[in-house]
């Protein structure tokens, strides 16, 4: 998943018999005027939310992993009392 002021995107991958992951579904969305005002942390979280909504039917009842290139999300998910307005 990735995000910027212009838009959000995500890729759903599936592991093949050879153990490698292959893209099987793409998602992209242009950000609204309101979303363009969000900071990078909030945009990345929004990308995760939008991807979960888009791929919901494929993910329900299954184990899956969310992978993002934004280290702040990974770090902040381990903390208590996250204040997104600190971005």
* Residue 44 · residue 74 · CB < 8 Å: no
Whole-model pTM over 0.85: no
Predicted confidence band of residue 85 (pLDDT cuts 50, 70, 90):
low
Binned at pLDDT 50, 70 and 90, residue 1 comes out as confident
pLDDT range class, residue 72, cuts 50, 70, 90:
low
């Amino acid at each position: 998943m990735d995000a910027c002021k212009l838009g959000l995107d995500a890729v759903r991958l599936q592991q093949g018999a050879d153990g490698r992951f292959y893209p099987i579904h793409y998602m992209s969305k242009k950000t609204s005027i309101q979303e363009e005002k969000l900071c990078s942390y909030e945009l990345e979280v929004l990308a995760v939310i939008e991807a979960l909504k888009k791929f919901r039917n494929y993910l329900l009842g299954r184990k899956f992993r969310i992978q993002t290139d934004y280290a702040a999300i990974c770090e902040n998910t381990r903390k208590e009392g996250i204040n997104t307005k600190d971005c």
